[in-house]
Amino acid sequence: MTDAPQLYLMTPAGAQASALAPLLGRVMDGFEVACLRIRGGAEEDELARLADLAREIAHARDVAVVIDDHVKLAQRHGLDGVHLTDGARGVRAARKELGPDAIVGAFCGTSRHDGISAGEAGADYISFGPVGDSALGRGGPAPLDLFQWWSDMIEIPVVAEGAVTRELIRQLSPACDFIAIGPEIWGDNDPMAALSTLWR
């Protein structure tokens, strides 16, 4: 691929819908977002409120919305699909439940094998990470050559996520379809400024 990667925006983990609404609208008006992902970490009723809010804000801007792991919530609240955090394991079941038109993405850590398995099971995109130094990864960071290999060999879109920095975006851009950004900006007093620093 030769095009610049697109921005894949993640909500803060455990976000409260009422607090996030104005911020989310501002960020999505200020930046071209390809996909919005609702991260888990909140109670189901709060996730349901977040799903309705995110759908309203994102769909008004022609942006697709996926949610971490909750197939039923995705169906019930009119979301575009799910992002599965356990690699290839749930892909086939999610695809069967949601149908052929839904988005099913899979986070595969640093495992090329898991990525290929998820793709064969019907995933629409594969996410690898963390790409930077993070305590959240399963082992070390996902190496640049993993993305380069995937980009050269596999047609399924690839997402880079986890501890993203401006320098990593520069390095990863030739080999990624999407860069996922969320925790990198939401902890800042001014998420818009933080995203501007990273993305522009």
Read off the pLDDT of residues 14-68 as tens digits, 9 standing for 90 and up: 888 999 999 999 999 999 999 999 999 889 999 999 999 999 999 999 999 999 9
Longest dimension (CA), the chain: 43
pLDDT at 39: 96
Q: Which tokens in the block code for residue 96? A: 């069967």
Q: How far is the C-alpha of 81 from the C-alpha of 169, rounded, in Å?
A: 26
Q: Is the pLDDT of residue 181 over 60?
A: yes
pLDDT class for 129, splitting at 50, 70, 90?
very high
Looking at every residue in the chain, the average pLDDT score rounds to 94
Give the model's pLDDT for residue 3: 74
Taking the domains of the chain in order of start, what are their residue ranges?
6-199
Tell whether the model's pLDDT for residue 138 goes beyond 80.
Answer: no
DSSP string for residues in 57-126: HHHTTT-EEEEES-HHHHHHTT-SEEEESSTTTTHHHHHHHH-TTSEEEEE-TT-HHHHHHHHHHT-SEE
Residue 27 has a pLDDT of 95
- The confidence score (pLDDT) of residue 135 equals 63
pLDDT (0 to 100) of residue 200: 81
Highest mean pLDDT out of 10-24, 128-142, 146-160 = 146-160
Answer yes or no: is pLDDT of 2 > 50.
Answer: no
- Over residues 45-57, the pLDDT tens digits come to 999 999 999 999 9
Say which DSSP state 132 is in. Answer: S
Average pLDDT on 7-19 reads: 93
Q: CATH code for 6-199?
A: 3.20.20.70
* Average confidence (pLDDT) over 192-199: 96
Average pLDDT over residues 94-123: 97
Q: Look up residue 86 and give its two tokens.
A: 């356990």
